[in-house]
């Protein structure tokens, strides 16, 4: 019997790309605040902005798990289901 691989095991580059996308969006939200905090030497404000970036990245990851968004990501080659499942109408 063949071993069942998770999507992350079968297509690790997809998991990496999806995570990178979530991080890029989260960091993009925080960059202006972090730059402002650093230039004013306010570590508390910078930490708050970075915490916000983590929260946004988590929210983006959750949104990417929605079926409609996953279909869009599959169209872009970043879907969570393996291509064979998409072709069979399972994904």
Q: Render pLDDT for 53-90 as a digit per residue (tens, 0 to 9).
A: 888 888 888 888 888 888 898 888 888 876 555 555 55
C-alpha to C-alpha distance for 55 and 29, rounded to whole angstroms = 10
Tell me the pLDDT band of 19, cut-offs 50, 70 and 90: confident
pLDDT of residue 1: 47
Q: Are 48 and 40 in contact (CB under 8 A)?
A: no
Q: How far apart are CA 22 and CA 86, in angstroms?
A: 23
pLDDT digits (tens, 9 = 90+) for 25-46: 888 888 888 888 778 877 777 7
Give the tokens for residue 81: 């289901």
- 3-state secondary structure at position 35: helix
**Of 53, 65, 52, 85, whose CA–CA distance to 15 is shortest?**
65
pTM of the model: 0.60
């Amino acid at each position: 019997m063949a071993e069942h691989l998770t999507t992350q095991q079968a297509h690790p580059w997809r998991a990496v790309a999806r995570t990178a996308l979530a991080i890029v969006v989260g960091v993009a939200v925080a960059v202006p605040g972090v730059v402002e905090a650093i230039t004013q030497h306010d570590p508390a404000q910078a930490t708050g902005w970075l915490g916000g970036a983590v929260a946004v990245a988590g929210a983006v990851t959750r949104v990417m798990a929605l079926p409609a968004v996953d279909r869009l990501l599959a169209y872009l080659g970043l879907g969570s289901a393996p291509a064979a499942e998409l072709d069979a109408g399972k994904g």
